[in-house]
Chains A and B, each alone.
Chain A
Amino acid sequence: MKLARLPENDGKLKILVMLEHDESGISPASFQLLTAAKSIKEECRLFAVLIGKGADRHSKTLVKYLVDCVYIYDDGDYLMLDSHRAALAVVDCARELLPEILLIPATDTGRQVAAAAAVALKTGLVADCTGFSLNAASRLVQTRPAYGDSLIAEVLTEKTLPQIATVRENMFPPYAALSDHPPLRIARRLRSAVMPEAKFLGVGDAAKASLSSAKIILAVGAGIKQKKDIGLFEEAAVKLGGMLGCSRALVERGFMPQSRQIGLSGMSVAPKLLIAMGISGSVQFLAGAKGAEKIISINTSGQARISSAAHVPIIADMYEVAKQIISG
């Protein structure tokens, strides 16, 4: 085990980010964490932790991102298997570095690792943060949507460290790579005495195509009158060569599964064309849809908030338009 010398304590704010990676490299959401960290304080000391198989290989790309030191736990593929055990690596790193702030992507795995790490470190955790600032007492003000996305809450971890937050995807741009940079400092570490509790048995592609990679999305919202009407819009989406998505309202009513939800508490999408039918356009929906190249909205009135966000806001009856698309 090779250990880099710990950076001397210069009084600067220390921020540790957990980066996720797969075969193709470090995830885009992870690179956004570097920007999020720098948005808290530009002159912070930035540390990264990479866990699991391939971490060593992928850490090389971090050389261009002004990370003070990368901690690598490359001794198994357990990140996807048992987040409680994966969290132990993050905990080990946090105990070594004693950062004031720990940021983790708000992905399925990330939020579980964060929850387990917060328990082990006996500290606060705030989920799905969309923005950060420091208050007068240098505590982290963590902004997140709350109460059914209609409100924004500012949450503090008041007394303990690190202040842990999971960060919503696509809220921060990816951190710009530098052309001129110092060599990367790397610390390779092993988890201490962890019994393997999960065994890998097999892997396959999930059957459903994902909304996040769809080129054309027809999204429906509260304008849907009853569950059986979903079929009509599903058919229209297929006719257009796209996928059907929805706003939170329909998931809450049980009309559509959460895997089809676009928005802060659902999925962030980036289609070339998004057709929003019967969607009022909450800030949270629009945040999930802001990657869309073109938005056409269909509503019965021009009062819907989405009308100002859409490139082509249209007043029409969504049912009639869907029927026309299918028959046309």
Chain B
Amino acid sequence: MKIAVMLKQVPLKAAGMDMVRGVILRGQTEKTLNPFDKPALEAALRLREESCSLDVYTMGPSSAANVLKSAFELGADRSFLLCDARFSGADTYATSYALAQAAKLNGGYDLIVCGDRTTDGSTGQCPASLAAHLNIPFCGQVVSIESLHRDSVELTRSSGGKNITISLRLPCVISVAEGKYELRLPSLKSKLAAAKKEYTLLTPDMFGDADPSHYGQSGSFTRVAKVYPARQTKQSAAKKLSPHEASALIVGEAARVKGGAL
């Protein structure tokens, strides 16, 4: 069984805006693995223990290789960095297209695991787009991978207050929600093994579709026309209370709500 995980490196803190110059402050903050990718990686690592191979992919600047290194330290077999100027400025359509081309390059996968969303773009669109580009089924908000079979996977999806258990045909793409999969820490042994592993650089000319106009900004259908700071609300005078007074006020209001509900 071949499994792939798609990872993203995101800024540790939300980017700010220089209000005086009117420009977005990016590339200045520390970067980290997208927190929502952690349960996806953990779910895939557990499947790897059941005699699967695990490849990880990420697209981004050269610094994104750090998330691949972390994945190696946790036990990933191979890793791929999509890093090229022609990939830059991609919207979710072009991003997922590039990832689909990369997955095809390696002969495809039985199961591709993604995080539900990222903390920076936060659209949650890429996993479903990736499945559509590969023309294979998709299931999101997966809280548990129950069992993996030769041609299907049994999953529990949690959405809208319901847990639904389904069987999805392989190959497929899933996105994993937080829940039972807490990302493990690397062991000394896996760290040592990781030191010998190196990622593979992928560029558009290596893909089945090598047309550069299908990637990055030129492969995108959307364009950000304008960005401005979120409107700030006006201030009002707040009352200074002692902890005791504040607590009494809150408890009183809560009692009123509970009383009204009876």
Contact = CB atoms under 8 A, between A and B. Distances in A.
Q: Are A and B bound to each other?
A: yes
Interface of A: 22, 80-85, 87, 107-109, 111-116, 118-120, 122-128, 141, 145-160, 197-207, 210, 215-216, 240-242, 248, 251-252, 254, 257-259, 265, 272-273, 275, 281-284, 286, 294, 296-299, 301-305, 307-310, 312-317, 320-321, 323-325, 328
A56 B122 CA distance: 34
Nearest to B122: A265
Nearest to A306: B233
Contacts of B221: 118, 122-125, 157-160
Contact of A127 (B123, B169, B224): B123
Contacts of A201: 154, 165-167
B168 A127 contact: no
B13 interface: yes
B75 interface: no
Given A22-B160, A128-B123, A283-B230, A151 B17 contact: yes
Interface string B225-258: 1111111111111111111111111110110011
Contacts of A128: 122-123
Contacts of B123: 111, 127-128
A1 B167 CA distance: 30
A297 B241 CA distance: 12
22 contacts: A82-B139, A87-B132, A109-B160, A118-B132, A122-B221, A148-B13, A150-B17, A150-B230, A151-B17, A153-B226, A156-B222, A158-B222, A198-B137, A199-B168, A203-B165, A216-B254, A241-B257, A252-B119, A307-B235, A312-B249, A321-B250, A325-B251
B128 interface: yes
B57 interface: no
Nearest to B14: A148
Contacts, number: 294
B133 interface: yes
Contacts of A152: 227-231
Interface stretch (B40-48, B79-87, B89-97, B184-192): B89-97
B159 A80 contact: yes
**Most central of B24, B141, B221 by chain A CB within 10 Å:** B221
A126 B93 CA distance: 10
A141 B163 CA distance: 36
Contacts of A87: 132
Given A126-B222, A259-B178, 18 more contacts: A82-B139, A83-B138, A109-B160, A115-B132, A118-B93, A119-B132, A125-B92, A127-B92, A152-B230, A160-B221, A197-B137, A197-B172, A198-B166, A251-B35, A252-B13, A275-B250, A307-B236, A308-B236
Contact of A150 (B15, B225, B238, B243): B15
A162 B145 CA distance: 35
Nearest to A309: B233
Closest 4 CB pairs of A and B: A148-B14, A124-B221, A320-B243, A119-B132
Contact of A202 (B14, B24, B141, B165): B165
Contact of A205 (B163, B248, B250): B163
A308 B236 CA distance: 5
B249 A296 contact: yes
A34 B96 CA distance: 30
Interface of B: 11, 13-17, 24, 26, 35-36, 91-93, 96, 119-120, 122-129, 131-133, 136-141, 152, 154, 157-169, 172, 178, 220-251, 253-254, 257-258, 260-261
A265 B119 CA distance: 9
A317 B243 contact: yes
Given A115-B92, A210-B161, A307-B238, A150 B229 contact: yes
Contact of A118 (B24, B129, B238): B129
A252 B35 contact: yes
**Most central of A147, A203, A321 by chain B CB within 10 Å:** A147
Contacts of B247: 321, 324-325, 328
A272 B228 CA distance: 33
Given A83-B128, A308-B233, A119 B96 contact: yes
Contact of B222 (A85, A119, A125): A125
A147 B222 contact: no
B148 to A, nearest CB: 15
A202 B157 CA distance: 10
A313 B239 contact: yes
B125 A125 contact: yes
A169 B227 CA distance: 22
A22 B248 CA distance: 42
Contacts of A297: 238
Nearest to A142: B222
**Most central of A109, A210, A282, A324 by chain B CB within 10 Å:** A324
A154 B225 contact: yes
A309 B231 CA distance: 13
Contacts of B152: 199
A315 B93 contact: no
A119 B132 CA distance: 6
Nearest to B170: A197
**Most central of B123, B127, B225, B240 by chain A CB within 10 Å:** B123
Contacts of B261: 215, 272
B119 A148 contact: yes
**Most central of B36, B243, B251 by chain A CB within 10 Å:** B243
